[in-house]
Amino acid sequence: MLGWGHRGKNALFCLMIIALVSVSTTNSQAELTPKDITALQERAAAEGWTFEVGENDATKYSLDQLCGFKMPDNWQELAPITKFSTTAELPSTYDWRDLTGLPPVRNQGGCGSCWAFSTVGALECAIRIKDGVDVNLSEQWLVSCNTNGWGCNGGFFAHDYHEWKTDPCNDFGAVLETDFPYTATDAACNCPYPHPYTIENWAYIGNSYSVPSVDAIKQAIMEYGPVSVAVYANSAMQAYNGGIFNGCESAGTNHAVVLVGWDDNQGTNGVWFMRNSWGAGWGEDGGYMRIGYGCSRIGEGACYIDYGPLGPMVMQDDLVVDDGAGDGNGRPDPGETGIEILVTLTNFGQDALGLTITATASDPEIVFSNATSSLGDVLRWEQTDNTADPIAFAVDSEFPPTIVQFELTYSANGGDYTKVETFDVNVGQPQFFIVDDDQDNSGNYEQYYTAGPYADRIPFVVWGKDSLGTPPADTMAAYPYTIWFTGDHRLDVLSSADVTALTDFLDGGGRLFLTGQDIAADLSDDADSTFLVNYLHARFAAGDPLIMTNGVAGDPITDGHLVAISGSGGAANQSSPDIIVPVDTHASTIYTYYGSSDVAGVRVTDGDYRLVFLPWGFEGVADDLGYTTRAEIFGPIIDWLSITGTTYVCGDVNSDLAVNPVDVVLLVNFVYKGGDPPAIVNSGDVNTDCAVNPVDVVFMVNFVYKGVGTLLPGCVE
DSSP class of residue 633 equals H
Q: Which H or E element spans position 51?
A: strand 51-53
Distance separating alpha carbons of residues 272 and 264, to the nearest angstrom? 9
Contact 23, 236 (CB under 8 A): no
Residue 551 pLDDT: 96
Residue 22 banded pLDDT, cuts 50, 70, 90: very low
Check the CA dihedral 157-161-166-171 and report its sign.
Answer: positive
Helix/strand number for the chain, H first, E second:
19, 29
Residue 251 banded pLDDT, cuts 50, 70, 90: confident
- Average pLDDT over every residue of 604-617: 94
pLDDT in tens, 116-167: 999 999 999 999 998 889 999 999 999 999 999 999 999 999 999 999 999 9
Task: Tally Cβ neighbours within 10 Å of residue 688.
Answer: 12
Residue 1 pLDDT: 29
Higher-confidence residue: 526 or 709? Answer: 709
pLDDT in tens, 696-705: 899 899 999 9
- Average pLDDT over every residue of 679-688: 81
Residue 254 banded pLDDT, cuts 50, 70, 90: very high
Residue 664 confidence (pLDDT) above 60: yes
Please state whether 68 falls in left (phi above 0), alpha (psi between -120 and 50) or beta. Answer: left
Residue 108 pLDDT: 97
Residues classed as catalytic: 114, 255, 276
Torsion from C-alpha of 282, 286, 288, 289, nearest 10 degrees:
-60
CA of residue 417 relative to chain centroid, distance: 28
Residue 20 confidence (pLDDT) above 80: no
Which among 367, 144, 116, 64 has a CA at the least distance from the CA of 258? 116
Residue 145 pLDDT: 98
Distance separating alpha carbons of residues 71 and 53, to the nearest angstrom? 30
Which among 336, 249, 233 has a CA at the least distance from the CA of 289? 233
Residues in CB range of 607: below 8 A, 6 or more apart? 509
End-to-end CA distance of the chain: 86
pLDDT in tens, 259-288: 999 999 999 999 999 999 999 999 999 999
Query: Furthest-apart CA pair in the chain: how many Å?
Result: 108
Contact 490, 439 (CB under 8 A): yes
Domains of the chain with bracketed CATH: 25-111+201-306 (3.90.70.10), 314-427 (2.60.40.10), 432-641 (3.40.50.880), 648-717 (1.10.1330.10)
